[in-house]
Amino acid sequence: MKRDSFFQLYDLKEEESSFKGIWLIVILYFGSLLFSAVVAPLVFRLVHILDPETQSYLANKPFSDYFDRGRLLCLLILFPMLMKKADLLSWKRLGYLEGGWAHFRKWFAIGVGMMGIVYLVDFGFGILEPRDNWTWGYQLEKIGLGLIGAILIGLMEETFFRGFVFRTFYTALKPIPAIIGSSLFFAYLHFKMADEVMEHIPHAEIGFDDSLTAIWGTLTAFTAGFEPLLFFNLFLVGVLLCLAFLYTKNLWTCVGLHAGWVVCIQSLFKTFNEVEGAHPFFGTERVADGYLVTLFLIGFVVMFCLLMKFSNRDAKS
């Protein structure tokens, strides 16, 4: 697989490479940890000073949530500057090209179809069952909210992971190592610090020194109760989305596919439960932790590899 200048950053040619973007990602990641280590304890203590009886919604949130929100805030502040350095401030440069609605609609339908088949198989084998309070009205509400959330998540994650992260790896490495490296990073970032890491510390005693524990808990989050299959499936998701971007050269493809998966998961996650003692092949209500999804993802990865192979062959002939 040869490099394509379309995906190169800094106006580099196919044969050129640069690790500048990789260093920007490292700065962004560790900078967000340090930023949150200072801001999160201040906000956490202030909330509990104002509400010592922990009656409000914010006061009942664990410190790990404050720490994660602090990292997100840092990302929102620094990300535009990093995008400017990478010359990715325009929609077109990011990869959101013309015909976006057609790409989004097509691949959204494919994403819904993929996840829909997985859920239908689970229902057919009695792996999932509706919760006791299930109603059609509540289910339709979850689908509507899931659709909004899916589009937002698809846009944000694909802009960051495929539009920025993947292309920084692609600019620094050859295409296949870039796909693998960025997909491992994608899977790694989906694991968050467990609430239990900070549970033993009373609210009134949370201080800056505890931020060190939070930093370590975040860095090692994927090892706490490590789920190899879930990590592998998330890695395959990253690989598939990278291949979809490479094949279509349009980021709307990735947004549509990603949103299609998410709308199904968000619509059914809080309305159906895994039947006790269900076979692990099918996974839980999270879906992504089952071997059934693994087979689907591997199948689509192979499909995209073949499509790209035939596309390159046609281009040469």
Is the pLDDT reported for residue 276 higher than 80? no
Instruction: Give the model's pLDDT for residue 248.
Output: 92
Question: Contact 251/159 with Cβ under 8 angstroms?
Answer: yes
User: Does residue 70 or residue 312 have the better pLDDT?
Assistant: 70
- Least confidently predicted of 25-29, 242-246, 263-267, 287-291: 287-291
In angstroms, the Cα distances linking 53 to 17, 44, 60, 102 are: 56, 14, 10, 52
The stretch 257-280 carries a mean pLDDT of 81
The stretch 116-145 carries a mean pLDDT of 83
Select from 204, 193, 190, 206 the least CA-distant residue to 64: 193
Instruction: Give the model's pLDDT for residue 191.
Output: 87
Select from 221, 225, 260 the least CA-distant residue to 244: 260
| Helix, strand or coil, per DSSP, at residue 277 | coil
Tokens read off for 2: 């040869």
Instruction: Give the model's pLDDT for residue 235.
Output: 96
Phi-psi region of 51 (alpha: psi -120 to 50; beta: other; left: phi over 0): beta
Name the DSSP letter for residue 91. Answer: H
Tokens read off for 33: 């940890």
Is the pLDDT reported for residue 198 higher than 90? no
Q: Which residues contact 161 (CB under 8 A, 6 or more apart)?
A: 182, 186, 238, 241
**What digits encode the pLDDT tens for the residues 4-15?**
889 999 888 888
pLDDT band at residue 240 using 50, 70 and 90 as cut-offs: very high
Is the pLDDT reported for residue 244 higher than 60? yes
